[in-house]
Copies of this chain bind each other. A is one copy, B any other.
Amino acid sequence: MTEEGTLAYGTNIDVRSAAGPVGAATPTCQLRDVLDRVGDKWSVLVMALLGDGPRRYSELQRGIEGISQRMLTLTLRSLERDGLVVRTVTPSSPPRVDYSLTPVGRTLSTEVGSLIRWAEAHRDYVAQSRLRYDEQ
């Protein structure tokens, strides 16, 4: 990955050709833009849940402990904006809203899934490391 390149704040990601830092004032969708999607507090969990199939708004809220309505809505809107999630409204009464992954969303959900599996697999190791580090 990035043989000798610079991981710039607003870099074009593939900076193999660049010698110095890539300009930080580049315009549209950069590495950080996309990474921030994974970086926020809830997107990863939402993507993981939706990876198992479509979910209603209320199912997501019950499925992700501690998320507020505000944050669930904001997270879903962001994911929708990025073309990773689609929102489907069934105008029944009461109205029913389902969220599901787009094809591209599914590919990210896969990545996110293996990240979660990594966390699961190395949880104890990390906990032990922290204990040892802290008691020094």
Contact = CB atoms under 8 A, between A and B. Distances in A.
A22 interface: yes
A74 to B, nearest CB: 14
Nearest to A108: B118
State the main secondary structure of chain A at its contact with B: helix
Given A40-B39, A81-B134, A130-B29, A123 B13 contact: yes
A62 interface: yes
A31 interface: yes
Nearest to A7: B45
Interface in A95-119: 104, 107-108, 111, 113-119
Interface of A: 1-11, 13-14, 21-22, 24, 28-31, 33-35, 37-41, 44-45, 48-49, 51-52, 62-66, 80-84, 104, 107-108, 111, 113-120, 122-130, 133-134
